[in-house]
Amino acid sequence: MTLQDAITLVFSVLCIFIITIIITRLFGLRTFAKMSSFDFASTVAIGSVLASIILNSDDSLLKGGIALLSIIGFQTFFSYVVRTQTWFKRWFTNQPQIIMYNGKILHKRLKACNVGENDLIAKLREANVHDFNEVKAVIFESTGDVSIIHNDTGKEVAPELLYDVDTEEL
Q: What is the mean pLDDT of the chain?
A: 85
Residues 130-152: what's their mean pLDDT?
89
- pLDDT at site 68: 87
In 80-134 the beta strands, taken as DSSP E runs, fall at 97-101, 104-105
Q: Please state whether beta strands 104-105 and 146-150 pair in parallel, antiparallel, or not at all (unpaired).
A: unpaired
Residues 33-59: what's their mean pLDDT?
78
DSSP state of 128: T
